[in-house]
Amino acid sequence: LNIYHHSKAARDHTRKAIKEAGLELEMKDSEATGLEMNAKGVDKGTGLKQLCHHLGISIEETIVVGDADNDKEALETAGLAVAMGNAKESIKEISDVIVSDNDHDGCAEVIENYLL
């Protein structure tokens, strides 16, 4: 579940309310003001592993492109971790490759250089 907010303060308010309610959720920031929530122990990395198992492919054959905290586990799991040029510094640090930002065809760059 991803909830978009009008401001970072509103997102922080939602995060605090969820914690105070005792809900056991994984919460990660996404984009400028989004709050992504998953069941405890579930993230994009576990989803990638399940998808690979279902498709019968190895993790080494995967590429993940990300830019924010909600992509961290998937990037750490993937065969090739790609950060967008506009990614947070912490995401760039854990990535194998950095491509152009999302306004300058970064995803196309990944497709052309690593998939075709």
Which tens digits make up the pLDDT trace of 78-102? 999 999 999 999 999 999 999 999 8
The one-letter amino acid code at 86 reads N
- Contact (CB, 8 A) for 53 and 62: no
Which tens digits make up the pLDDT trace of 35-59? 999 999 999 999 999 999 999 999 9
Pick the closest to residue 25 from 75, 70, 65, 88 (CA basis): 70
DSSP H or E stretch at residue 20: helix 8-20
Claim to verify: residue 51 and residue 35 sit in the same structural domain: no
Claim to verify: residue 57 and residue 104 sit in the same structural domain: yes
Q: 75: domain range? A: 44-115
pLDDT of residue 96: 98
Per the rule left: phi > 0, alpha: psi between -120 and 50, beta: everything else, 92 is alpha
Please state the rounded mean pLDDT for residues 100-114: 95
Confidence of residue 31 (pLDDT cuts 50, 70, 90): confident
Claim to verify: residue 101 and residue 56 sit in the same structural domain: yes
Res. 10: pLDDT tops 90: yes
The span from the CA of 109 to the CA of 99, in Å, is: 7
